[in-house]
Chain A
Amino acid sequence: MTLISRFRSPRTQGILLLTPALGVYAMFAIWPMIDVLILSFQDWNGITENREWVGLRNYYHILYNDPVFWVAFKNTFIWTVLSVVIPPLLGLGLALGLNQKLILRAPLRAIYYLPVIIAPIAVATMWRWMYDPFFGLFAQLLADLGLSSWAVDWLGDRDVALYSIFVAYVWQNVGFSMVLFLAGLQSVDSSLIDAAHIDGANRRQVFKNVTLPALRPTITIVLVLSTISSLKAFDIIYGMTGGGPAQSTQMLALWAFTQSMEIFDYGRGSAVSVVLLLLTLAVVIPYMRWSQKQESDAQ
Chain B
Amino acid sequence: MKATTLLKGSAAALLLCGTSLSAEELTIWTINYTSDRQVSALTAAEAEFEALMPGVDVEIVMRGTDEHKTALRVAAGSDTGPDIYAYWAGLGLGGEYVQAGLSTDLSPYYESYGWSDRLTAPSQAFSESFAEGKHGIPFRFSGEAVYYNKELFAKAGIESEPQTYEELKEAAVALKAAGIPAFTFGGTVNWHVMRLMDVILETTCGVDKHDALMAMELDWATEPCALEAFTEMKWWTDDHFLKPFMGIDNRQSTTLWFANRAAMMLEGDWHVPTIDENADMENFGLFPFPTGTGRLYGFAEYMYVSTKSDQADLAAKFLDMFTSDEFQTAHLGAFGALSVNKNVKQGDDALALHREWLEVFAQAEGTFVNGDQAFPLDVTTEYFRVINELASGDLEPQAAADAMAGFISNH
Contacts and interface: CB of A to CB of B under 8 A. Distances in A.
Contacts of B407: 65, 67
A179 B262 CA distance: 49
Given A47-B96, A47-B102, A262-B69, A244 B388 contact: yes
Nearest to B388: A246
27 contacts: A48-B100, A61-B410, A67-B382, A67-B385, A67-B407, A68-B385, A132-B247, A133-B247, A134-B248, A153-B244, A153-B246, A153-B247, A155-B247, A156-B187, A156-B392, A157-B246, A157-B247, A242-B188, A244-B188, A245-B246, A246-B392, A247-B385, A261-B70, A261-B74, A262-B69, A262-B70, A263-B378
A263 B377 CA distance: 5
B30 interface: no
A68 B378 CA distance: 12
B102 A246 contact: no
B252 A132 contact: yes
Contacts of A152: 244
B248 A132 contact: yes
Given A67-B382, A131-B247, A47 B394 contact: no
A241 interface: yes
A39 B187 CA distance: 33
Considering the complex of A and B, which 9 residue pairs feature the smallest CB-CB distances, nearest first? A156-B247, A156-B246, A153-B244, A246-B388, A155-B247, A245-B246, A47-B100, A65-B410, A153-B247
Interface of B: 66, 69-70, 73-74, 76-77, 96-97, 100, 102, 187-188, 190, 243-248, 252, 256, 377-378, 381-382, 384-385, 388-389, 392, 394, 403, 407, 410
A261 B97 CA distance: 15
Nearest to A161: B247
Interface string A43-68: 00111100000000000010001011
A154 B244 CA distance: 10
B394 A246 contact: yes
Interface of A: 45-48, 61, 65, 67-68, 131-134, 152-158, 161, 241-242, 244-247, 258, 261-265
Given A47-B100, A67-B403, A244-B187, A264 B388 contact: no
Contacts of A246: 384-385, 388-389, 392, 394
Contacts of A265: 377-378
Question: Could you tell me the dominant secondary structure of chain A's interface residues?
Answer: loop
B66 A262 contact: yes
Contacts of B77: 46-47
Contacts of B378: 263, 265
A258 to B, nearest CB: 7
A133 B190 contact: no
A90 B102 CA distance: 53
Given A61-B410, A158-B392, A244-B388, A264 B247 contact: no
Nearest to B410: A65
B73 A264 contact: yes
A154 B73 CA distance: 33
A141 to B, nearest CB: 17
A262 B188 contact: no
Nearest to B403: A67
A262 B377 contact: yes
Given A47-B100, A48-B100, A265-B377, 7 more contacts: A68-B385, A134-B252, A244-B188, A245-B187, A245-B246, A245-B247, A263-B377
| Max count, chain B CB within 10 A of own CB: residue among A46, A156, A261 | A156
A47 B97 contact: yes
Contacts of A45: 96
Nearest to B411: A65
Nearest to B190: A244
